[in-house]
Amino acid sequence: MRKFFILYISLAVILLISSASAPGKGREAAAVSCDNVAEVQETVGDDDRQFLVKVGDQAPDFKMKLPDGTHVSLSSLKGKVVMLQFTASWCGVCRKEMPYIESRIWQRHKDNPEFALYGIDREEPVEKIRELINATKVTYPVGLDPDAGIFGLYAEKKAGITRNIIIDREGKIVMLTRLFEEEEFERMVETIDLLLGGS
């Protein structure tokens, strides 16, 4: 009986230690310092998010088709603050996050010529993208990534979504997010505001 008690206590101690040392779910991938927008702060632990890029990297260029048949490339947006949101109609977390992106970010900055926001729909036809836009009531542009080729530049192809990439005017990544976590989302909003000069 005493052996079982000692084993039980040992396991409890191990569990307490491991949970205390585990990174919090609200951990930020990176944020822009309030003192200096160009100064970037990184935190450890993005490996488990399956990104292939990191804060400070030049964002990989791509060309994307929009549902109306026009195209946009990331390089054409240089000089702007850019937000990329990887999404899909089957992703419940994406559907939850998209209205927040619409109200907290797009509606505030859509008329700013120095800002660009694009949703990137992974591996779905135009019809599914239109369904997603109608369901979430977003008005920001959502483009096609039919073979996950764009997604594969930023994260492992089998990795999950939703995830957001914030890119500065020089084309460098300043923040990476994964899933929809309120605190991290708020930091993303603040980061975009800072990059746009507090607008």
Q: How many domains does the chain have?
A: 1
Asked if residue 40 is part of any domain, the answer here is yes
Residue 110 confidence (pLDDT):
98
We report the CATH number of the domain holding residue 69 as 3.40.30.10
Residue 150 confidence (pLDDT):
98
**Mean pLDDT score of the chain, rounded to an integer?**
82
Q: What is the pLDDT of residues 15-24, one digit of tens each?
A: 333 333 333 3
Asked if residue 155 is part of any domain, the answer here is yes
Which residues have a Cβ under 8 Å from the Cβ of 116 and sit 6 or more positions away?
Answer: 77, 80, 81, 82, 83
Asked if residue 6 is part of any domain, the answer here is no
Asked if residue 93 is part of any domain, the answer here is yes
| Residue 164 main-chain phi, psi, to 5 deg | -125, 145
Give the Cα separation of 97 and 193 in Å (integer): 18
Asked if residue 16 is part of any domain, the answer here is no
| Residue 93 main-chain phi, psi, to 5 deg | -65, -35
Q: What is the pLDDT of residues 28-86, one digit of tens each?
A: 333 443 334 444 334 334 457 899 999 999 999 999 999 999 999 999 999 999 999 99
Asked if residue 64 is part of any domain, the answer here is yes
Residue 48 confidence (pLDDT):
72
Q: What is the pLDDT of residues 75-99, one digit of tens each?
A: 999 999 999 999 999 999 999 999 9
Assigned token pair, 86:
């990887």
Its domain, for residue 147, covers 24-195
Q: Is the pTM of this model over 0.85?
A: no
- The amino acid at residue 85 is Q
Asked if residue 1 is part of any domain, the answer here is no
Residue 49 confidence (pLDDT):
85
| Separation of CA 156 from chain center | 14
